[in-house]
Structure formats: structure tokens, C-alpha cells
Amino acid sequence: MLLRSGLFAASLAKEAKRKGKERATTIEFWYRQKYKLTKSDPRFLDATIEEMNADYWAHYYFDNPKAKDEIEDEDFNLEDELQKIEDEDSLDDADVDDWESVV
């Protein structure tokens, strides 16, 4: 009989919890959970990530009808906005030596 050390068993449990937390936030896990599918179910294996995402949002909008009215700016680019802010800050920094003497 093979006995596992307490440290080894604790390590396995800790690793399983970490993997479980990661897996719980994936679209694949949501899809399998929603339709009660196993990892080896052909319906799960044949589904693409795009189909899973579309299905997720279809359920989201069905369950939250008011969410359909939300407006989303598809042209918004966070990197461009951050660059604009940095450019404005660099212009402000250029004026640092432009102080007047107050006597």
C-alpha cells in the first residue's frame, strides 16, 4: 500500500483549488456547466470559442432585457485615449520652466 505524505496531499489539494479557480472563469467551463456537458462530449468538442461567446451573450441579453439598450462605443480605443493623456501631460511638463518671478 502506497501512503502519500501529508505535505504531498496538501500540495495536490492546493494545486487543484488553484486550477479550479482559474477554470471557473473560462467560457469553456460556463458552456459545459450551462448544458451539463462533460469534457469529452462531442457537442462541447465541436463548439468553437466564437459559438460559446455568442451563446453566452445570447443568454445574457435574454436574462437581462434592459442590457440590450446599453450603448457600446465600438470605436473606443483605450490605447489612443491613454496616448492623448500622455501627450497632454508632456506638453504641461514642457511649460514647467515657464514660471514668472513674483516679487
CB atoms within 10 A of CB 103: 3
The letter for the amino acid at 19 is K
Instruction: List the pLDDT tens digit at each of the 103 positions of the chain.
Output: 455 677 777 888 899 999 999 999 999 999 999 999 999 999 999 999 999 999 999 999 999 988 888 877 888 888 988 998 888 877 655 555 666 777 7
pLDDT of residue 46: 96
39 exposure class (CB count in 10 Å sphere: 0-12, 13-18, 19+): exposed
Rg (CA), the chain: 26
Rounded distance, CA 46 to CA 40, Å? Answer: 10
Q: Rounded to an integer, what distance in angstroms lies between the CA atom of residue 8 and that of residue 36? A: 32
- Residue with C-alpha cell 514668472? 100
